[in-house]
Amino acid sequence: MIQTAPYGLQMSDLYLFNKGCSYHSYRFMGAHVMDVVGEIGVRFAVWAPNAREVRLVGDFNGWNGSGSLMERVSSTGIWVIFIPGLGEGVVYKYEVITSSGEHLLKADPYAFLAERRPQTASVVSNLSGFPWRDKKWVDTKQQRPSYSNPLLVYEVHAGSWKLKGKEDFLTYDEMAEQLVPYAAEMGYTHIELMPINEHPFDQSWGYQITGYYAPSSRYGRPKQLMHFIDCCHAKGIGVILDWVPGHFCKDAHGLRRFDGTPIYEGADEKLADKPLWGTLAFDFKRNEVVSFLISNAIYWMDVFHFDGLRIDAVASMINLHMDKPPELFTWNEFGGIDNLDALRFMKRLNETVFHYYPEALMIAEDSSAWPAVTSPTYLGGLGFNFKWNMGWMNDFLRYMSTDPADRSHHHHLLTFSLLYAFSENYVLPLSHDEVVHGKRSLLNKMPGTYEEKFAQLRLLYGYWIAHPGKKLLFMGGEWGQFDEWKDRDPLDWMLLDYELHAKMQDYVRVLNHVYTKEQSLWERDQDATAFQWIDVNNAEQSIISFIRYGRQGFSVTVANFSRNGYSNYRLGVPQPGCYRMILNSNEEQFGGSDSRSTQQYDSEKVGWHGYNQSISIYLPPLSFQLFSFVSGDTH
């Protein structure tokens, strides 16, 4: 017989929560509208193991909790109360009386909704009953392994993609009406939302969270977010949530010293404090914290139908010294700097997510050299299925920022990534981190004249698309945002009134659709035998060329990173036949100078680049060209 706690709580659920094995704890923790012995009301449950007393306060009792004392459930550390007559929309907090007698007002860690900032209370919200229409999407997704399918992510900060006025944000509904069709038209397969978990400070971009289970009320209500995701799925677009399990902010109403003691962050201040960010790290060895975080990952997929998570700052989680001054250094039990508790947490996180959602995307934002991040845990890996390729991003942007006249001396920055491109399942990120804090926008990183900047950005995007690995581009990059990203202002949409910016957007649209249609660019991303250099060593001319093989066909890429053009550039090809140009970054419609008079090239039996066959092409300066092999019959 299952022992029950007050008001329908199951002792078995609380036991698993305390053991770190409750992966759906949001179903019983927090505020739930329910029927208890024939009375409709709200049951509240909160974990505060070291509190002397916990009271419920809110607009329903004039913020006086003297008559709303919560009951402690034996030794679980969980406090519970049921208030009949309450319902959705009630504003509340927990008044926690610490062991020393201090009174703390805390938001609900499991709240499904919070007041709009600067207010900080929690709001009762019923998440059931949304009429999902995405069964076809879910069924299709389960039949399409992510490794062998295109992944082209549009990274979006909801607070600045568009604004209606100063701090007048688009709602989730308005994003469904505007952002979703735009992303579909542009050819993106996924939208990644920068953290929309409730956060008090706009300029944290959502990375310093107080409400892990609450979609930010800046943009509307939880069911409006469900509507946004449902609309994405109807258009064939997946949705990824930027997720931050590494640390949380120190705001008084949040998780910090929640019951007067450090239960979420742990007692060791050196381990907990992250001064560079002004945050506190989660205590990954605490069972209840593990239940809280893994349940949160499951929650976004279970309740909101998110298709995956991009896990922020993995390197900072696994390295005890990263982002810390020497006086805060700690070591593990073996004298090393690896956070063993964080590593165990990440393995269990991925094992659990893939148990419930085998088709989920679990993407590590990891700048470390930790091996096997995307290998299964049973093979000793961390169990993610994708990892951001930060090394490629740093090298390539450094190369592209170099004047073309000097690039011959830095050719290794272009080619080095292929030495490790197949060691993990990589995503190639051109993210928000690269266009803030004085780093300049992608367009403005490009050297040279105004026209050369655009030519080189088109080249950059072409090489990015053709390079092995999945793709991510931050909003605004698609038309050449000239200024850095300004998180308080909307993107500079007015730039589309200028010819080269409009043509850049057209180029990216065409490039995106070429990517999703050309199977060789994604079908065998993780297969080293599906990539072959044509010419890797041409540093003198700053030209590079290679082949990408799909299961049935192949494509040929040639990229010229110099200011020199070649009217009869000979390119070795692996098979005799017809090669069709499917993209040329120098076309007039994209802002270049080519009218694209020649679209197909028959190979000749002229040995070149180690192949018996070759084609002769016009190779413009600062250009990217992509060819598809059509057939073995020349004509």
Q: Which of 125-139, 220-234, 590-604 has the lowest mean pLDDT?
A: 590-604
Instruction: Indicate whether 138 belongs to any domain.
Output: no
Nearest by Cα to 429 from 145, 149, 146, 151: 151
Question: What total number of domains does the chain contain?
Answer: 3
Q: What's the CATH number where 515 sits?
A: 3.20.20.80
Instruction: Provide the mean pLDDT of the chain.
Output: 95
Q: Is the same domain home to 113 and 257? A: no
Same domain for 340 and 271:
yes
Q: How confident is the model at residue 599 (pLDDT cuts 50, 70, 90)?
A: confident
Q: What pLDDT is attached to residue 567?
A: 93
Q: Is the pLDDT of residue 430 over 80?
A: yes
Q: Examine the fold and report which residue of 474, 495, 521 is the final residue of a domain before the chain moves on.
A: 521
Does some domain include residue 128? no
pLDDT number for residue 633: 55
- Catalytic positions are 312, 365
Between the CA atoms of 386, 536, 551 and 185, what dihedral angle is there, to the nearest 10 degrees?
60
Residues 400 and 534 in one domain: no
d(CA 328, CA 462): 44
Exposed, middle or buried, 75 (CB in 10 Å: 0-12/13-18/19+)? exposed
CATH number at residue 27: 2.60.40.10
Q: 477 and 605: one domain?
A: no
Residue 594 — pLDDT band, cuts 50, 70, 90? confident
Q: Is the pLDDT of residue 635 over 70?
A: no
Minimum mean pLDDT range among 130-144, 465-479, 574-588: 130-144
Of 104, 123, 142, the residue at which a domain comes to its end is: 123
Kindly state whether residues 460 and 541 are assigned to the same domain: no
* The predicted structure's pLDDT at residue 202: 87
| 131 inside domain | no
Summarised one tens digit per residue, pLDDT across range 511-525 is 999 999 999 999 999
Indicate whether 366 and 474 sit together in one domain.
yes
Domain of residue 562, CATH code: 2.60.40.1180
pLDDT digits (tens, 9 = 90+) for 299-319: 999 999 999 999 999 999 999
Residue 597 pLDDT level (bands cut at 50, 70, 90): low
Residues spanned by the domain of 254: 152-521
- Residue 467 and residue 588 share a domain: no
Mean pLDDT in residue range 327-334: 96
Q: Are residues 117 and 165 in the same domain?
A: no
Q: Tell me the per-residue pLDDT of 131-178, one tens digit each, with 9 for 90 and over.
A: 999 999 999 988 888 888 999 999 999 999 999 988 889 999 999 999
Cβ–Cβ under 8 Å, residues 388 and 427: yes
Query: How much is the pLDDT for 223?
Result: 98
Residues 550 and 511 in one domain: no
CA distance 265 to 129: 35
Q: Is residue 583 part of a domain?
A: yes
Residue found under tokens 């971009």 = 205
364 belongs to a structural domain = yes
Pair 162, 257 in one domain: yes
Residue 141 lies in a domain: no
Q: Show which of 501, 521, 541 is a domain's final residue.
A: 521
> What letter would DSSP give residue 86?
-
330 and 239, same domain (yes or no) = yes
Q: What tens digit of pLDDT does each residue of 534-572 get? A: 999 999 999 999 999 999 999 999 999 999 999 999 999
**Token pair recorded at residue 420:** 């490790």
pLDDT at 165: 87
Cβ neighbours of residue 585 under 8 Å, at least 6 residues apart? 455, 458, 459, 461, 462, 507, 592, 623, 624, 625
Tell me the per-residue pLDDT of 413-424, one tens digit each, with 9 for 90 and over. Answer: 999 999 999 999
Whether 357 and 419 share a structural domain: yes
pLDDT band at 596 (very low <50, low <70, confident <90, very high): low
Residue 146 lies inside a defined structural domain of this protein: no
Residue 143 lies in a domain: no
Residue 275, class by beta-carbon neighbours within 10 Å (0-12 exposed, 13-18 middle, 19+ buried)?
Answer: exposed
Contact 554, 574 (CB under 8 A): yes
